[in-house]
Amino acid sequence: MLCLSKEWLAEVQLLGIIDHPNLVKLLGYCSVDRERGMQRLLVYGFMPNRSLEDHLFNPSLPHLSWKTRLQIMLGAAQGLRYLHEGLEFQDQGYAAPEYVKTGHLKVQSDIWSFGVVLYEILTGRRVLERKRPHGEQKLLEWVQNYPADSSRFSDHNLVTSPLCLHLQLLCLRQIICL
């Protein structure tokens, strides 16, 4: 548990110095160990346009167009790239231990998580939806069962062009390969 605490603290300190237009700024944190109860709080900057989750899953908000979704995916990819390639520390004391040792953050786990977010953006579905039929509850399993049928993955609240369906299929195939 203590090791996990040190890793979490190192990650939080790293996130606190990141400054990129496509990443929400971490303003502060609090970590309290009440006899190993481990309560943690992260404080991020205000997002005036709300979160991606709100825009994808809140029915009271307008649906995101394909153009907007593509811009979001590109911005997220640029933010992730910055975390792995463009981040330079002025003071090594702020860097996470794994970054100091290897010069890299956890690329594989970040890419996997990014792929999951891409699925959500492309399909308009949450990663886990318990109210769906058994074979459709887990988004990743559902997509893997129908890898060649891109029309199945489209957010049906949008008018989808054949080009968008083709792009979607290419993205899904690439993510499945990860």
Residues belonging to the active site: 91
Asked if 118 and 171 touch (Cβ cutoff 8 Å), the reply is yes
Cα dist from 148 to 13, 76, 115, 172, whole Å: 42, 26, 17, 9
Residue linked to tokens 């199945």: 152
> How far lies 110's CA from each of 63, 105, 154, in Å?
26, 8, 24
Separation CA 37–CA 167 (nearest Å): 46
Find the farthest-apart pair of alpha carbons in the chain and give their distance in angstroms, rounded: 57
Give the residue among 87, 92, 90, 117 at the shortest CA–CA distance from 104. 87
- CA Rg value for the chain: 19
